[in-house]
Structure 1
């Protein structure tokens, strides 16, 4: 709670110096940036757990990308096969796969 209050005071001071008023859109934007920055400081003190968490996120996204690529390729293959069957049927050839 103290970090949030400190971020609000710093954002108000920056806004007052830059714009002449403590309440402005710039103050709200600055508050968000300051709060996120100040809340990240304790996480950065334990850099090993942060690195482990980041590597877990990277491996998770890699797995999701592999599945997404497989689904995309399977969908593309099915659509290509369907197009080939339709083209062969339109040309008068009855392929075995069409049933």
Structure 2
């Protein structure tokens, strides 16, 4: 596993007929972007992989050596180069940033197409309604996980469990209707109803009861802390419901 080159790395990764290790490819890509010449060894069978792991006393592949020193798997390689490695239970606002960022861009694009300008009231309406739809999609991907997490803090769901299953569909329906501007007599009450209950539930759980919970706002498997984000989501629905009703 040694080399005289200071920019030489050796990697062992699984390359089988029915399995190509994605972390092996990521490791090679990272090494090459760092200027390393990579000596790439393939483990083509389960038997080869098991023998390799036993020989080097490791539990996973890929495994990378740099200048004869074992670095480890992909996460260890990222740490070696000073890159952030997030644990599975670490909080992350990435899903929220992605959803709201894309909603902004979509709303501006729609406004530009319809009015020739991004600075319109309709752009703000579309931003909120598109965000509602995207947030609903996140929840509907795994309705069981969402409803389970939702039950931790939503006051209506705790009294009527089925509400946790209906909430994402209500949010999606209201969002779609608001995008089109149709049936405001239906979309406004839905947004006001679920937004008001949600805002009160989040406020009570976080700011009154001081509970530390994960937010179900972007789905049941997220690591977004319950608090400002979920409260903002619900306040946006309330504001939108009131606005289109008055307008």
**Superposition TM-score, scaled by structure 1 size:** 0.50
The structure in which a higher percent of residues are strand is 2
| Greater helix fraction, Structure 1 or Structure 2 | 1
Give 1 or 2 for the bigger CA radius of gyration: 1
